Amino acid sequence: MLHFFHHPLSPYSRKIFFLLEEAGHPYDLRTVSLEKKEQKDSSYLVLNPAGRVPAIKDGDFALSESNAILRYLTRKYQLHQFYPTAVEEQAQVDMWWDFCSNHINRPLIDLAWNKIMAPRYGGKPDAAVIAKAEKNLERDLPVLEKQLQGRNYLVTADLSLADINLMPFAIYAKDVIRLDDFPAFKAWINRVEERQAWKNVVSYSGH
Ligand SMILES: N[C@@H](CCC(=O)N[C@@H](CS)C(=O)NCC(=O)O)C(=O)O
């Protein structure tokens, strides 16, 4: 049995959650309370030496880092529809996966943290971080928008790991940018939101 250690509001955990729900792969869900700092318990550090969620334990095999887990699951359980085996096609998935991780996900979470979560949880928004994130998105969102024009999904005809990597961060865009300026990105978010697997992820956390 695959044990999946997560926190419901962690976007990195949600990537794994989304893939497992899409694949219909059976798993045992274990919530790690970040509020109680359970991610730093010695029993958990065996699974993830960095003391973060997510992590998995598949039989005797433990693995952390969300991207490594996504690749492991698709290879181990032959979920090739999400990560094509043809070298060039897989490289395209890798390219958009890396582009979004480096240039879209990071600034979106920085904006979400500073514009929404910090005020909500009594933290202090950092104006410099907000300015840098907005500048970076101004430069890189048009690149994503262009890629999504005329496509349903980022690379392949259906959902791939490139989309799965983006979605848990993309949902913040609704609250932190003017999404109407990016109609293809907005349509992609709406399309992914309609997938039952994503609805399952969201209904679990209630957000
Ligand atoms: N690079 C890691 C990032 C994981 C990460 O940052 N997880 C956060 C939750 S979203 C966490 O566990 N934070 C708790 C901590 O750092 O103590 C991955 O891709 O899995």
- Ligand 1 center to 6 CA (angstroms): 10
C-alpha torsion 81→152→199→26, nearest 10: 0
- What is the structure's pLDDT at 205? 76
Q: How far is CA 109 from CA 141, 146, 161, 180, 199, in A?
A: 14, 22, 19, 19, 21
Instruction: Categorize the per-residue pLDDT at 122 as very low, low, confident or very high, splitting at 50, 70 and 90.
Output: confident
Of 79, 101, 122, the last residue of a domain is: 79
In this structure, is residue 61 part of a structural domain?
yes
pLDDT of 19 > 80? The answer is yes
- Ligand 1 center to 54 CA (angstroms): 7
- Of residues 118 and 22, more confidently modeled: 22
Q: Are residues 152 and 171 in the same domain?
A: yes
Of 26, 45, 79, the last residue of a domain is: 79
Residue 30, strand partner residues = 5
Index of the ligand 1 atom closest to the CA of residue 7: 9
Q: Are residues 147 and 179 in the same domain?
A: yes
Q: Are residues 70 and 103 in the same domain?
A: no
Residue 28, strand partner residues = 3
Taking CB atoms and a 6 Å cutoff, what residues make up the pocket around ligand 1?
10-12, 34, 39, 51-54, 65-67
57 in helix, strand or coil?
strand
179-207: pLDDT as tens digits: 999 999 999 999 999 999 999 999 987 55
Q: Are residues 93 and 71 in the same domain?
A: no
Index of the ligand 1 atom closest to the CA of residue 34: 14
Number of structural domains found in the chain: 2
Q: Are residues 26 and 92 in the same domain?
A: no
| pTM of the predicted structure, to 2 decimals | 0.96
Q: Are residues 47 and 96 in the same domain?
A: no
Query: For atom 11 of ligand 1, which residue has the closest CA?
Result: 52
In this structure, is residue 144 part of a structural domain?
yes
pLDDT of 5 > 90? The answer is yes
- What is the structure's pLDDT at 141? 98
Write out the residue range of the structural domain in which residue 137 sits: 87-195
Residue holding tokens 């798993």?
27
pLDDT of 176 > 60? The answer is yes
In this structure, is residue 207 part of a structural domain?
no
- Percent of the chain past pLDDT 90, that is, above it, reads 94
pLDDT of 23 > 60? The answer is yes
Rounded to an integer, the average pLDDT of 106-125 is 93
| Lookup: tokens for 3 | 């044990």
Query: For atom 15 of ligand 1, which residue has the closest CA?
Result: 52
CATH of the domain at 166: 1.20.1050.10
C-alpha torsion 144→145→147→152, nearest 10: 110
In this structure, is residue 100 part of a structural domain?
yes
DSSP state string for 60-97 = TEEEESHHHHHHHHHHHTT-TTTS-SSHHHHHHHHHHH
Q: Are residues 177 and 91 in the same domain?
A: yes
Closest to 169 (Cα-Cα) out of 204, 133, 139:
133
